[in-house]
Structure 1
Amino acid sequence: MIYTKTGDKGTTSLLDGTRVRKNSPRVESYGTIDELNSLLGFGKHFIHNKDIVEKIHTVQKELFSVASALADPQGKTYTSPLGEAEIVRFETWIDEYVKLMNPAPKFIVPGSCQASGILHVARTVCRRAERVMTALDELEPVNPILAKYINRLSDVLYTFARYLEENQELVNT
């Protein structure tokens, strides 16, 4: 069933069954991750670089793990499979694409093409997710690997956006 009516009064259930307000920092944190995931799904349609699209698809699947871990306040119902290997993989991706570009100027004006523009928007949503997770961590512990994952992901998105800007994909829509 799509509708349960249990959220009609402004509450929702976490993975452990706890009911919380829909505007709680925890719900805001995994909701922002959901927003990021949806934005990346939309953004893939503007990117013609198959390697970047595949990498974004990998990230999207992993973002479900981030959101699930954030929706489990005690970490008893869901254990995230994300770890240091994903951080190293992100750093490898960044290094791989940085080698293909000229040194960055001090400031980048986002959006010289649609593909880079959407990734810059995704990067800013990713940074917001990081801020919301940091605020949550001040109230309740957040798995540090999740914060590190989101922090590094914003660097990945920035790198991909810069690469697409610099290379102005063949189909510049």
Structure 2
Amino acid sequence: MKIYTKTGDDGTTGLQGGERVLKSDLRIRAYGSVDEINSCLGIILASGTESDITTLLTRIQNELFVAGSDLSNPNLADSRTRVTSEMVIRLESDIDKFESELAPLTNFILPGGHRTAAFVHLARTITRRAETEVVELSQHTDLNQNCQKYLNRLSDLLFVLARVINKRNGTPDTIWRP
């Protein structure tokens, strides 16, 4: 099978179920941003992380494929490959686990520190954009609300992971000084 089909040469792409939409459609932008998060996590994993973080980010990469599939399927009656509330709860558990390693925040921090933490902050900001796009899309069509919740929790988890990576590498977080 060839990688190119030429069906998108007119600026459209297919959704699950066969509907064709413009590549500039908000739905396409939303799941494109989810794909961008996944690529950023791939960079982080290729850079090397501790085994517990590698295992977590690999699971999240797989879950992001679920989120992308969910967003590409406008038929909510089709329950295949959907983000679930259990996936959201699992992220909350991950946040609690990793946050227990950290001192409470007393200041805002700037993205950066250790190189890997900086990439995690980048993934976090891409996640925030994806969440914003999903929120905007939800104003125009019905969506699985677990997608939006998942992205919200994921950005929180990535923030915590960046701090954990800094701490584990002996790199202090950079405090924001107005």
Per the shorter chain, which TM-score range? over 0.9
Are residues 1:27 and 2:28 paired? yes
Cross-structure match for 1:111: 112
Cross-structure match for 1:15: 16
Cross-structure match for 2:158: 157
- Counterparts of 1:82 and 1:8 in 2: how far apart (Å)? 31
**AA paired with 1:139?**
H
The answer (yes or no) to whether the contact 1:70–1:142 under 8 Å persists in 2 is yes
Tell me how far 1:32 sits from its aligned partner.
Answer: 0.7
Change (3 A) 1:143 1:81: closer
| % identity of equivalent residues | 36
**AA paired with 1:168?**
N
Cross-structure match for 2:94: 93
Q: Where do 4+ consecutive residues of structure 1 move more than 4 Å?
A: none
After TM superposition, the score normalised by the length of structure 1 is: 0.92
Tell me how far 1:105 sits from its aligned partner.
Answer: 3.0
The answer (yes or no) to whether the contact 1:90–1:156 under 8 Å persists in 2 is yes
Q: How many pairs are equivalent?
A: 170
- Counterparts of 2:170 and 2:14 in 1: how far apart (Å)? 44
- Counterparts of 1:111 and 1:45 in 2: how far apart (Å)? 18
- Counterparts of 1:169 and 1:83 in 2: how far apart (Å)? 36
Unmatched segments (≥5 aa) in structure 1: none
Cross-structure match for 2:176: none
CA distances 1:103-130 after superposition (whole Å, capped 9, x unpaired): 2232112111111000000000000000
CA distances 1:22-49 after superposition (whole Å, capped 9, x unpaired): 0000111111111111111111123421
Are residues 1:130 and 2:168 paired? no
Q: CA RMSD in A?
A: 1.6
- Counterparts of 2:119 and 2:34 in 1: how far apart (Å)? 16
The answer (yes or no) to whether the contact 2:12–2:22 under 8 Å persists in 1 is yes
- Counterparts of 1:84 and 1:77 in 2: how far apart (Å)? 17
Unmatched segments (≥5 aa) in structure 2: 172-178
The answer (yes or no) to whether the contact 2:27–2:72 under 8 Å persists in 1 is yes
